[in-house]
Structure 1
């Protein structure tokens, strides 16, 4: 299992051994109790981490939710908002890159599907299959799922369900296979890409067709979605801190903390809006700093 959980179990063994040896001697019965206690501590820590992952999943919008909200704004489809599919082969050089960008492409598929970019969405599904195979969960994007996706082209609701199902299966398989680090990275990639697409739509919404106030009214539901992702971000940071630490995880945590700082700067505005204080509305420029940081973090993941 992961290093921090292993250390926790080892510490429990040492503490338990000390307590039992000073009070009951070195009997086999005491040793068995110490080992049972260590195992229980280990299992509890593992379950806590899985619960934290589930909490992130619960707090995040589904991969299909934000894209359909984007379409509702009336904004035109922008091909440059999705990550270039030609990069797939470069991501297959490592499990970490595959996991992060599997999450990225899952969010992209939702965006493509919501704008009826059928063939492109199918191509991205096939790209996801390659990365899922790289991290050992190919069955989450198997041929039967691809066939269902192809048959559902033109039915956005069905496509949304299939996308959500694939990601859910991927996460469950990673948890079951004791690959919680990979699960955390998939979540991080999906989180960043969802925010990236959302903030790009907000920033680049046509300024010459509507007045600023009318644009803010149209974009407000989407801006609220972005603003409300603070809790999911905090949950994600917690998960990343509890999985095995390496250079990739440390870098992702650092980037997520930068985003957290941007959300903290918006805390006062968020509170006023949630309290329905008169005259307080969201404007495009309120999210500009956050959007800039998200763009930078996303470039680091997908570059």
Structure 2
């Protein structure tokens, strides 16, 4: 894999790191995991927000639920899979991206790559992908997003995964505010799309080589996220690249129609003292090997059209 030279890493580069990781992975594979889901009715005290919970993303008055950052790369590592550099988009491809749309989508892709190599402790690759994200973000005019406080926290917590998760969550809020303030929501949606495509690409490639069931289930769960992504893309101004991407995602959605959710509901639990009733269900994904292969082939085709 060829890499672009790094040069001097500045605070601007670190800002770009946060932007890329956040947008590249913010919609990548959270929520809807197999297991228990709970709906609590009537009175319930609000609990502190978890750093991995969903975030609401608003475009033109429409609100979408966007899963939290970097969970897929963490899932792949926690599932015991090994680092695979061949699944990344080579940084040498950066010279091919000459339009704002292609740059934004590939910023999301490189951001996902950067998150992947960082979580797998690939220091040299992290430097190369940091340079790539810095370059694209500069071309897009969004290199200076994050403040000195966040950057200082990042420098002090390199290697601390829990702290990194918290920092990325903070970075998402900062990036979201920046794009809204500067009326660049369209750019944000394209970056989000690139990150989602890349992380689904990761999962399909790794599931094919490892057969890990947790990873396979996570692929199936993207049926819902794909719907939200397409709704977001429909809110932005269309050009040839966006129209082609939407057409390809529609074909992917047609394949996902073969993925089913199965819910098993348990008996409600009532807490008389706190005046709450908890309804619990267990959800499972039903997806045939043929559907999994079709999803893998289609996302590979979509990604190739974007990156090559």
Closer, same or farther: CA 50–127 of 1 in aligned 2, 3 Å: farther
* Helix, strand or coil at the partner of 2:232: helix
Structure number having the greater helix percentage: 1
User: Could you say which residue in structure 2 is the equivalent of 1:257?
Assistant: 250
Larger Rg: 1
- Superposition deviation, residue 264 in structure 1: 0.7
Closer, same or farther: CA 80–163 of 1 in aligned 2, 3 Å: farther
Q: For each residue in 1:108-162, what CA deviation from the matched residue of structure 2 results, as whole angstroms up to 9, or x when unmatched?
A: 1221122111232233223212212222211136888667545533222333444
- Superposition deviation, residue 101 in structure 1: 0.8
Q: For each residue in 1:245-302, what CA deviation from the matched residue of structure 2 results, as whole angstroms up to 9, or x when unmatched?
A: 21121111111111111111223xx337898699x86665551110110111011111
Closer, same or farther: CA 101–170 of 1 in aligned 2, 3 Å: farther
- Superposition deviation, residue 189 in structure 1: 0.3
TM-score (norm 2): 0.67
TM-score (norm 1): 0.68
Distance 1:193 1:256 in 2: 13
Whether contact under 8 Å (2:105, 2:192) holds in the other structure is yes
* Helix, strand or coil at the partner of 2:118: helix
Structure 2 unaligned segments of length 5 or more: list them. Answer: 1-56, 266-280
User: Could you say which residue in structure 2 is the equivalent of 1:271?
Assistant: 262
Closer, same or farther: CA 122–261 of 1 in aligned 2, 3 Å: same
Decide which of 208, 220, 227 is 1:227's aligned counterpart: 220
User: Could you say which residue in structure 1 is the equivalent of 2:117?
Assistant: 112
After TM superposition, the structure 1 = structure 2 runs for residues 1-303 of structure 1, keeping only pairs within 5 Å, are 49-52=59-62, 55=64, 58-62=65-69, 64-91=70-97, 93-140=98-145, 149=154, 151-205=156-210, 215=211, 219-267=212-260, 270-271=261-262, 286-303=291-308
Aligned length: 237
Structure 1 unaligned segments of length 5 or more: list them. Answer: 1-46, 206-214
RMSD, aligned CA: 3.0
Closer, same or farther: CA 293–272 of 1 in aligned 2, 3 Å: farther
User: Could you say which residue in structure 2 is the equivalent of 1:22?
Assistant: none
Whether contact under 8 Å (1:110, 1:163) holds in the other structure is no
Closer, same or farther: CA 281–184 of 1 in aligned 2, 3 Å: closer
Distance 1:98 1:134 in 2: 8
Whether contact under 8 Å (1:140, 1:167) holds in the other structure is no
Whether contact under 8 Å (1:196, 1:294) holds in the other structure is yes
Distance 1:143 1:94 in 2: 30
- Superposition deviation, residue 68 in structure 1: 1.0
Q: For each residue in 1:178-223, what CA deviation from the matched residue of structure 2 results, as whole angstroms up to 9, or x when unmatched?
A: 2222111111101101100011110111xxxxxxxxx5xxx22222
Whether contact under 8 Å (1:102, 1:132) holds in the other structure is yes
Q: For each residue in 1:221-255, what CA deviation from the matched residue of structure 2 results, as whole angstroms up to 9, or x when unmatched?
A: 22222211222211111121121121121111111
Closer, same or farther: CA 72–273 of 1 in aligned 2, 3 Å: farther
Distance 1:273 1:122 in 2: 46
